[in-house]
Amino acid sequence: MSLIVQKFGGTSVGSVERIEAVAERIVRAREAGDDLVVVVSAMSGETNRLIGLAQAIDAQPDPREYDVLVSTGEQVTIALLCIALKKRGCEARSYTGAQLKILTDGAHTKARILDIDSANMRADLEQGKVVVVAGFQGVDEKGNITTLGRGGSDTSAVALAAALKADECQIYTDVDGVYTTDPRVVDKARRLERITFEEMLEMASQGSKVLQIRSVEFAGKYRVPLRVLSSFTDGPGTLITLEEDDGMENPFVPGLAFYRDEAKITLSDVPDRPGVAAIILNAIAEKNIEVDVIVQNIGHDGRNDFSFTVHRNELHKAQSVLEKLREELNIGGIETDDKIAKLALVGVGMRSHAGVAARMFTALGKENINILMITTSEIKITVIVEEKYLELAVRSLHSAFDLDVENPA
């Protein structure tokens, strides 16, 4: 008998019919003998409906009241799921974040979980009840309702699993696992049986948005085995674990992530003295523009080139910040390019394999794909290429690193 935390996202509980399907799945898991704590999101569309109401009144609604408002979305789902479970003779009990005492800090709309009181849950589980918890929400020490921010239900599930020392935290989504790359682009993309937390983090930050990053960090930190699987079909999904499993099929590059929404800015002929990069990035950060890839190469004659990427939507804002600095910092030129794409090979295996980068650049070179920027970390190699080459680059790398399935569906 295992203790499993299951989390069902908005699409999985998006209608009364879907909620009944989730109830059926829970009943089957109970019959198989598992103890269950179930975390649910708001029905898909509901959170946006509530935010729409608030913003019709005030574009910047008061954060405390915003949390009171949007937390009702998950509360509706826990009640409906328990109604569906009890109709099936399955004992269940719903909890809001406040009822369960999921204690968070007071940072409304983006609170962090500090502590979870697991006494109620344990008592219910001992009585054979399924515990159904509203995700995404908690309560601060003054009793104010807080929310964890978008996607926070994943984090709720992992935090509950950690508090209960659950055997596994299962995240049910509309995909059946984590893939080597986006199956919509590469028809030979393959579901991974396993992936490490580190790899999952690098994949997620590159646009493979299966799980919320914070929940993966959290799971890694508290060593909660995490499994991503589909609420629409049966299947083992992908297990996200702490360590590579030596006994298993172990490609050194399990995944290939990519991202289209960035733009590149190159400052050319920048004075090569300490603090210049910091001044530039501080000015950008002050406008709340997030910077992703940063590259600076060795300079010549006391001058340097400095490149970085920002979200395409923020390119113009970034440009105007830089124009203001141009004279002060004696920057030679400012070039921008919003027709780029980012592509990353991810794998803890590459730590112990020399030549991954060489193999990557060779594969791209064979297709005459020019690499505009390169950065590397211990388990990731990121390149920026022209956007028009993205699909070709992804498919060629997927083959070059033996990620293709033998017989794609």
Of residues 99 and 296, the one with the C-beta less far from a copy of itself: 99
- Residue 1: partners with Cβ closer than 8 Å, 6 or more residues away: 33, 34, 35
Name which position in 11, 20, 230, 375 contacts a copy of itself (CB under 8 A).
Answer: 20
CA distance 118 to 163: 7
Tokens of 156: 């709720």
Binding segment for a copy of itself (CB under 8 A), chosen from 3-11, 59-67, 190-198, 200-208, is 59-67
| Minimum distance of a copy of itself from residue 69's CB (angstroms) | 4
**Cα distances (Å, whole numbers) of residue 170 to 38, 108, 231, 256:** 9, 27, 10, 23
65 lies in the binding site for a copy of itself (CB under 8 A): yes
266: which 2 tokens? Answer: 């190159």
CA–CA dist 87, 291 (Å, integer): 51
Token code pair at residue 234: 């049966």
For 257-298, give the DSSP string: EEE--EEEEEEEEEE--TTHHHHHHHHHHHTT--EEEEEE--
**Residue 86 in the binding site for a copy of itself (CB under 8 A):** yes
Shortest spacing between CB 3 and a copy of itself, in angstroms:
23
The yes or no reply on residue 94 touching a copy of itself (CB under 8 A) is yes
DSSP labels for 199-217?
A: HHHHHHHTT-TTS-HHHHH
- Cβ proximity to a copy of itself: between 56 and 278 the closer is 56
- Interacting residue with a copy of itself among 1, 56, 278, 358 (CB under 8 A): 56
Q: Does 54 bind a copy of itself (CB under 8 A)?
A: yes
Task: Pick the stretch among 90-98, 152-160, 195-203, 283-291 that binds a copy of itself (CB under 8 A).
Answer: 90-98
Binder of a copy of itself out of 8, 66, 179, 259 (CB under 8 A): 66
Residue 333: partners with Cβ closer than 8 Å, 6 or more residues away: 266, 267, 268, 269
Which is nearer to a copy of itself, 58 or 335 (by Cβ)? 58
Closer to a copy of itself at the Cβ: 143 or 247? 143
Q: Does 50 bind a copy of itself (CB under 8 A)?
A: yes
**Helical H segments across 165-256, by residue range:** 197-205, 213-221
Name the minimum Å distance from CB 150 to a copy of itself. Answer: 18
Interstrand relation of 226-230 and 168-173 (parallel, antiparallel or unpaired):
parallel
Q: Which residue has the tokens 């004992």?
A: 91
Stretch that binds a copy of itself, among 53-61, 173-181, 355-363, 379-387 (CB under 8 A): 53-61
21, 27, 51, 76: which one contacts a copy of itself (CB under 8 A)? 76
Residues 119-158 that bind a copy of itself (CB under 8 A): 143, 145
Query: What residues make contact with a copy of itself under the rule CB under 8 A?
Result: 16, 19-20, 50, 53-54, 56-58, 61-62, 64-66, 68-69, 71-72, 75-76, 78-80, 82-84, 86-87, 93-94, 96, 98-99, 143, 145
